[in-house]
């Protein structure tokens, strides 16, 4: 969100007489889904303007004041321009992040799940958030063939976990300035089961949000 707007928190968006304008390329991506999810779960309404050709065009529209907000991944926000300059100049503020725990780079920005606790979002809304935001929590998972022997699964998971704690490996990621936020195989498996076991009501809401 542009810092020169009156929207300092999600509560400001909730109570606004006129919804802030956010930009996106179309109606089938997270730039569209996230604002709609915020409306569905915590009552924060946004006027989503679709049709921009790409991220650079959205960024320029924010700088021109044509729109005042946009949704994007934290990886993109902390990895390239114009976001480095925006943060350095205090041009923007971050209202909400999608993970279940706060990113260490955004220690003062509440997660959607924190906001849902605050506003007592019903279970249907929570499940909707879990299903829609799961891709960010899965990150880039390693997959194996079906019906793999349990002992082999266990061995591979243990090897992965040891690698994530290996001093040489961690030193290499630090040298290359790569973010490290690993998820265990057990956590990914539990999330997959949770995402895939949604009640009909949640599935229908997802279809509606996605225009199908």
Torsion angle of C-alpha atoms 65, 67, 18, 49, degrees rounded to 10: 150
The neighbouring-strand residues paired with 48 are: 22
And the tokens for 43?
């009552």
Q: What pLDDT, in 10s, does the model give residues 117-132?
A: 999 999 999 999 988 8
Confidence of residue 88 (pLDDT cuts 50, 70, 90): very high
**Integer angstrom CA distances of residue 196 from 36, 175, 185, 200:** 21, 38, 16, 11
Q: What average pLDDT does this structure show over 67-82?
A: 92
- Band of pLDDT at residue 83, cut at 50, 70 and 90: very high
Q: Secondary structure of the chain: what % helix, strand, coil (to 5)?
A: 50, 5, 45
What are the structural domain ranges in the chain?
A: 10-130, 142-209
**Site of tokens 């700088």:** 63
**How big is the CA angle at 183 (ends 182 and 187), to the nearest 5 degrees?**
170
What whole-number distance in Å separates Cα of residue 101 and Cα of residue 158? 24
Q: For residue range 136-169, list pLDDT tens digits in order.
A: 777 788 888 989 999 999 999 999 999 999 999 9
The CATH code of the domain at 10-130 is 3.40.190.10
Instruction: Please state, in angstroms and rounded to a whole number, the distance separating the CA atoms of residues 161 and 168.
Output: 14
Contact criterion met (CB below 8 Å) for 52 and 24: yes
What DSSP state is assigned to residue 3? Answer: T
pLDDT bucket at 196, cuts 50 / 70 / 90: confident
Which pLDDT does position 81 carry in this prediction? Answer: 94
What's the average model confidence in pLDDT over 15-31?
93
| pTM above threshold 0.85 | no
Cis peptide before 68, with omega less than 30 degrees from 0?
no
How far from the centroid of its chain's Cα atoms is residue 188's Cα? 16
Confidence band, pLDDT 50/70/90 cuts, at residue 1: very high
92-96, 99-103, 150-154, 158-162 — which is least confidently predicted?
99-103
pLDDT class of 212 with cuts at 50, 70, 90 = low
What whole-number distance in Å separates Cα of residue 27 and Cα of residue 29? Answer: 6
């Amino acid at each position: 969100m542009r810092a020169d707007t009156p929207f300092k928190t999600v509560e400001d968006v909730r109570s606004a007489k006129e919804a802030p304008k956010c930009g996106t390329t179309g109606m089938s991506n997270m730039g569209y889904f996230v604002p709609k999810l915020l409306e569905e779960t915590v009552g924060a309404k946004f006027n989503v303007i679709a049709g921009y050709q790409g991220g650079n065009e959205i960024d320029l529209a924010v700088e021109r004041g044509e729109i005042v907000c946009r949704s994007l991944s934290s990886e993109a926000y902390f990895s390239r321009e114009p976001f480095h300059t925006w943060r350095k100049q205090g041009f923007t503020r971050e209202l909400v992040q999608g993970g279940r725990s706060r990113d260490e780079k955004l220690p003062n920005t509440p997660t959607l799940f924190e906001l849902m606790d605050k506003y007592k979002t019903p279970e249907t809304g929570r499940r909707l958030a879990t299903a829609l935001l799961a891709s960010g929590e899965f990150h880039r998972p390693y997959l194996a063939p079906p019906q793999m022997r349990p002992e082999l699964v266990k061995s591979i998971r243990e090897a992965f976990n040891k690698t994530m704690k290996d001093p040489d490996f961690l030193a290499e990621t630090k040298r290359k300035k790569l973010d490290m936020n690993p998820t265990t195989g057990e956590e990914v498996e539990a999330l997959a089961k949770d995402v895939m076991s949604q009640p009909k009501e949640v599935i229908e809401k997802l279809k509606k949000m996605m225009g199908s």
